[in-house]
Amino acid sequence: MKKKINKLIMYILICTMVIPFSISNSTKAAEQTFKIIGKYRSKLDTTYPVDFDTNGVIYGYSRGKVVLMNGATGKLIKTTEFTDINEIKQNKYNDNIDAIVTRQKNRTVYYGLMDKEGNTLISPNKYTEMYYMDRGFRAVDAKKNEYYISRTGKVLYTYEKDDQIKEYDKFFVAYIPSYPDIRNNLTPPSSVQIKGVYDYDGNPVTEIPEEEKTADNQYWLLLNTSIKDMRSTAEKEVRAEVPEKYRDKINLNVDFTTIGNCYLITVKGDIINGFNKEYSIERYYLYDMKDKLLAKADEVAIAWDDYVVLRNAKIVNNERVIADATLYNTKTYQKWENTDFKDKDDSLCVHKFADWKYGEYFISCYYPVEDDNLHSDLYNVALYDAKGKLIKRYDDYYDFYTVLADVDKQRSQDIKDSGEIYTYYYGDDLRTEIGDGLIEYKSLAKNKVQLTFFDYSYNIIAKTTLNKNIKDINILDYKILNHNSGIYVSYQTGKVYTETVYDRNGKVVYNYSDTNSDRNVYIQSNGVTNYIGCSRLAKPITIGRVIFTSAKNTGPGEVTLTWNAVKGANSYEVDCRCNQSAYYHEEYTKSNSVVITGLEKGSSYTFKAIAIGIHTAGKYSRPITVKINK
């Protein structure tokens, strides 16, 4: 027994020595110098560019077939039955990467679907059109029958005339909206016919669990009932406020939108006498999902993400001032009264953001800001905490990170002392967020700059030095390789595009420059075994010109345009211009058809379209003119 115990103790001691050594070596492996196994000649005739991570797969063409190639080794993974790629898209709800592909048979182009490994999901023998939706696909057969199908080809719904489908998390709704006779692209539907609610196996859904209901996925289901009542009640209340002499004359516009789990109704109207506005009124109503009125207000100062600020005004010494401002969280229905959102200047915008370093704040300023990217100078800035209380007001130009530094000076100083980047400068140094993380530029000399690459947790991935002027460098892309084993950087200086792969020590593994941004490099790494493949890809496909196949006045003030799908196009821009006025409108679509509404009867409109790819666009179509007779 004693010998067994001694052997067990010895085994444990050996394990405690060996295991840490093994873990340490595997961890350090990612920091060692790469072994380059690439620099191969691409076997593809042309490549199909994508703007997301394909896990090392390159899509392209070889000898007239769609093929998949390993980006590190250059070896072909699979040659498929398809002859062309229409579009490749990554599903935002899962890790599926599906490609809509085509094959020609008896002079007819049939559409199918393949997965990220090149396996056929839907054979190209039935559908003559196919389009991505968020959860499934819209497909059209040779007889123009239209279907909503799954990625395995199962028909979930068969469209009838005027049917539309709205996808949600666990179900989709088939419906037909009805609109007023006079409308434009922003006019909301007045009523709806619900054709059915189904799950993603095509089964009817008779009841939606309470915990799965949201304001958004209940919109169409409640449009004819409680939403109709909310809009009607709001309009009647506002009309009752209008002075009697204007009450029957004023035209009240009722707009309706969802924000968080609330419904926000806007009622506006005015009386115009010549060039003067004789009278106007504007009111806002905030309802919860169960049509309970939460608040009524004179104006909205912010409607952003899951937050809304409702304000009421009063007249003091013949001047309109903000009397109160209440902040609502439209997801939780929590509210904060008597906030400091009382700037009366209508040109100010209020932006809600969650800074990963400092927490949640609101900022008001001139210049609208989008997608939490506050990298431009801000003017007339006011900073508020998450409950709407004013922290500080600024009267001059300030950049975002300087403003944040004042939120907590001690914390900012701690960050600075630790050597981490904490601010944004417009002088010799600057910081930017792009791709997989953050990049700090530090000017060392007139034509020398140090770049430090971080992930979003502020871990330093690599450092390098470029013999360039800091003002001449335009970073286009930044990717962190597998297991933090290195980085890929794409940047532009003048007319030259450069793509470089660095290891963890900042050593150049591969570098390629060209005046043509489409001639790009493909890289793939494996940080455990320390190999990297680098290759100059075959020339990407060029984007062709849109050719209209149909342009008709299909309804009152409505034109439907269709065209053949353009190879390499991810989206299309359609321009509409009235020949009798200055009216101009742009419409964007993912499909090869679009419906333009709100057009004036008796007028003629000229349309042209352009196909847009990931890195480039095609040429505009020849213009086509349609007269509105309906």
Residue 215 CA: distances (Å) to CA of 164, 218, 331, 506: 19, 5, 10, 50
Range of the domain at 113: 46-221
- Structural domain contains residue 213: yes
Non-local CB neighbours of 414 within 8 Å, separated by 6+ positions = none
Residue 84, exposed/middle/buried by CB under 10 A (0-12, 13-18, 19+)? buried
Query: What does pLDDT average to over the chain?
Result: 79
Residues of the chain above pLDDT 70, percent: 75
Phi, psi angles (nearest 5°) of residue 142: -65, -25
Q: CA end-to-end span of the chain, whole Å?
A: 99
Confidence category of residue 39, pLDDT binned at 50, 70, 90: low
The better pLDDT of the pair 487, 4 is held by 487
Is 380 within 8 Å of 395 (Cβ atoms)?
A: yes
Which among 514, 611, 626 is positioned nearest to 567, based on CA atoms? 611
Q: What is the pLDDT of residue 377?
A: 53
- HSE of 412 in the Cβ direction (CA atoms, 13 Å)? 12
What is the per-residue pLDDT across 171-209, written as a single tens digit (0 to 9) for each? 999 999 888 776 666 677 888 999 999 999 999 998 899
CA distances 418 to 385, 413, 414, Å, are 26, 9, 6
How sure is the predictor about 114, in pLDDT bands with cuts at 50, 70 and 90?
very high
Residue 71 shares a structural domain with residue 26: no
Q: What is the pLDDT of residue 544?
A: 83
H/E element, 110 = strand 108-114
Q: Are 616 and 627 in contact (CB under 8 A)?
A: no
Asked whether residue 11 is domain-assigned, the answer is yes
Tell me which of 221, 256, 279 is where a domain ends: 221
Q: Are residues 26 and 50 in the same domain?
A: no
pLDDT in tens, 141-174: 999 999 999 999 999 999 998 899 999 989 999 9
Tell me the HSE value of 400 on the side-chain side, using a 13 A CA sphere. Answer: 22
Q: How many CB atoms lie within 10 A of CB 225?
A: 10
Is 53 in the same domain as 190?
Answer: yes
CA-CA-CA-CA dihedral for 452, 456, 458, 460, to nearest 10: -40
**Do residues 21 and 115 share a domain?**
no
Q: Note whether residue 511 is domain-resident.
A: no
Same domain, 55 and 7: no
Residues 6+ apart with CB under 8 A from 534: 36, 38, 39, 501, 509, 510, 521, 522, 523
Main-chain dihedrals φ then ψ at residue 571, nearest 5 degrees: -160, 175
- Has residue 565 been placed in a domain? yes
Residues 8 and 69 in one domain: no
DSSP string, 244-300: HHHHTT---EEEEEEETTEEEEEEEEEEEETTEEEEEEEEEEEEETTS-EEEEESEE
Of the candidates 376, 334, 332, the one whose C-alpha atom is nearest the C-alpha of residue 351 is: 376
- The residue type found at 476 is L
Q: Tell me the DSSP string of 316-384.
A: ETTEEEEEEEEEEETTT--EE-S-S-----TT-EEEEEEETTTEEEEEEESS---TT---S-BSS-EEE
Is there a domain that residue 104 lies in?
A: yes
Instruction: Determine if the pTM surpasses 0.85.
Output: no
pLDDT value, residue 369: 42
Same domain, 84 and 190: yes
Amino acid at 473: I
- For residue 381, give the nearest of 353, 409, 416, 411 by alpha carbon: 353
Query: Are 26 and 154 in a shared domain?
Result: no
The per-residue pLDDT for range 558-610, each reduced to its tens digit, is 899 999 888 778 789 999 988 877 778 888 887 788 888 888 888 899 999 99
Among 303, 301, 349, 347, smallest CA distance to 324 is for: 301
pLDDT at 550 over 70: yes
Q: Tell me the CATH number at 75.
A: 2.40.10.480
- Domain membership flag for residue 208: yes
- Choosing from 159, 192, 221, the residue where a domain stops is 221
Q: Are residues 74 and 22 in the same domain?
A: no
Element (H, E) at 26: helix 2-29
Residues 17 and 68 in one domain: no
Q: Where is the domain boundary, 205, 221, 237?
A: 221
In a domain? residue 359: no
More confident of the two residues 520 and 123: 123
Question: pLDDT digit string (tens) for 515-541?
Answer: 877 656 666 665 555 566 666 666 666
Collect all residues with Cβ–Cβ distance below 8 Å to 586 and sequence separation of at least 6. 573, 574, 575, 576
**CATH code, 577:** 2.60.40.10
CA distance 196 to 402: 53
300 occurs within a structural domain: no
Asked if residue 315 has pLDDT above 60, the reply is: yes
Phi-psi sector, 291: left (phi>0), alpha (psi -120 to 50), beta: left
Written as six digits, the tokens of 518 are 């489409």
User: What's the pLDDT at 224?
Assistant: 92
pLDDT at 467 over 80: yes
How many domains in the chain?
3
Q: Residue 208, Cβ neighbours under 10 Å: how many?
A: 16
146 and 8 both lie in a single domain:
no
Q: Which of 82-91, 128-137, 424-433, 523-532 has the lowest mean pLDDT?
A: 424-433
Same domain, 63 and 176: yes
Q: Cβ distance 238 to 283 under 8 Å? A: yes
